[in-house]
Amino acid sequence: MNIVVIDYGAGNVKSVQFALERLGYEAVCSNDPQVIINADKVIFPGVGEAKSAMKEIKKYGLEKVIPALKQPVLGICLGMQLMCEHSEENDTDCLGIFPIEVKKFQVDLKVPHIGWNQIIDLKGHLFDKVEASSYVYYVHSYYVPENEFSIANTDYGIKYSGAIKKDNFYACQFHPEKSGDIGEQILKNFIKAV
């Protein structure tokens, strides 16, 4: 199994790589378009700010590569947001895989949203063997609104997308690599995705 974690200088690639190793899978971290294209599974993590992350993606020519991938792809946190059309974070045009606008939290709660929260409304095989209302780990100030591609939701002052899916593209706002046994099950389910 050839698993590639996209390393564009704005992702927590090592923690994702270590999480996969704990599950018995070796993953390569790369920003080489050919290595990414030839992978069986691709994981697209991200931390930090949308505009600077998109700048790094473009530096490696990945803004054309990522949306054209045909194998299963999993976006994590900022990676999920960058898969959308546009982010309110510094008015950033993103990859456009999901036709969705990423919004800034406007809630009477602490922002960024950091810590454990429940995922609800679970749909599809990414959540096989995961119970509704399971807790996963979040760190974010921007969110993807609930939409037709939502396969999990979370409530933090408002209900928003905890995970989305379109064709071969999956994405989680939470960090499966930091979400204990639940996160490990979600990663396993993704790796088994056809």
Catalytic positions are 77, 175, 177
DSSP per position, 121-147? S--SGGGTT--TTEEEEEEESEEPBP-
- DSSP-derived secondary structure letter, 118: E
- Report which of 168, 142, 29, 17 is spatially closest to residue 81, judged by C-alpha positions: 142
Q: Name the E strands within the chain.
A: 3-6, 27-30, 41-44, 73-76, 84-87, 92-93, 98-104, 113-119, 134-140, 142-143, 150-155, 159-166, 169-172
